[in-house]
Amino acid sequence: MSTASKYRDCLGTEVGSHTCLSVRYTGGKPVPLDSWATLSVASPSRRVSPTDKGIIVMALTKSQQESPKNILLTGLPGCGKTTVIMRTVEGFPGKAGGFYTQEIREKGRRVGFAIQTLDGQSGILSHADLTEGPKISKYRVNIPDIDAIAVPVLRRACEEADLIICDEIGSMELCSEEFQVALRAALECPTSLLGTIQRKRHPFLNEVRQLDSVKVIDVSPANRKELPEQLLSLIASVRRKSSNT
């Protein structure tokens, strides 16, 4: 039995106002602290300090456990939001549906963004060579592909999937009124949604962030490695509560 596996029975147990979420071994290295509460197995009544080493338990406060069904990741460009989403999807035991966006690069230069659905469809979100569509920065937004690919896959995910993926909710996607309608429906349907949202201020983005059904989590180098496991635990908790109601 590994050192860490001896503490697996800690999972789900309550210690004061916290519940153990995951266990990992730091290999004698200092414990990295982030926005998630962290407890020491050896001394569960106190917070871990940056100099503590060895076995630790990642934990959530009870207020954090009472999570809304929708989780949106935010953060600076390049902080790893999409990577966190995809690793969470890889570990998700049910059926995930939706889309993510990725860069289109030519000769090492970014020329646009693509829409990629989890069931294999692809399209153009925006491109520097397009001559029609709303202009954002140096790109023209391709509303027809948003309406033909991103919107239907969100609607199908509401009906058929166990988890809706929407990466991302940003200024380009919001150029489509159909996308805004489909996103509202996805946020309101019983299925959990995991997505990303731009940090910028925008009336629609502000409204989404303030919804009671939405929890916004900042992604940073300090927490991005641990987030997929934590997100899977949160999503599983929401699904269990939903199945019991």
Instruction: Choose one of 15, 38, 64: the last residue of a domain.
Output: 64
Number of domains present in the structure of the chain: 2
Q: Domain range holding 43?
A: 5-64
For residues 52 and 101, membership in a common domain is answered with no
Whether residue 171 sits in one domain with residue 88: yes
CB-count exposure of residue 113 (10 Å: 0-12, 13-18, 19+): buried
Helices 227-243 and 81-91: crossing angle in degrees, nearest 10, is: 50
Residues 52 and 77 occupy one common structural domain: no
127: which 2 tokens?
A: 């491109």
Q: Which of 41, 64, 87 delimits the end of a domain?
A: 64
- Of 44, 32, 34, 37, give the one whose Cα is nearest residue 7: 44
Looking at residue 177, which CATH number applies to its domain?
3.40.50.300
72 with 216: CB under 8 angstroms?
yes
One domain, residues 19 and 101: no
Residue ending a domain, choose from 64, 86, 102: 64
**38 and 130 belong to one structural domain:** no
- Look at residues 104, 176, 112 and name the one whose alpha carbon lies nearest to residue 145: 176
- Do 58 and 164 fall into the same domain? no
Per-residue pLDDT of the chain (245 residues; tens, 9 = 90+): 333 333 333 434 444 444 444 444 444 443 333 333 333 333 333 344 444 444 444 444 444 445 689 999 999 988 999 999 999 999 999 999 999 999 999 999 999 999 999 999 999 999 999 999 999 999 999 999 999 999 999 999 999 999 999 999 999 999 999 999 999 999 999 999 999 999 998 999 999 999 999 999 999 988 999 999 999 999 998 888 777 66
How do residues 141-175 score in pLDDT, each as one tens digit?
999 999 999 999 999 999 999 999 999 999 999 99
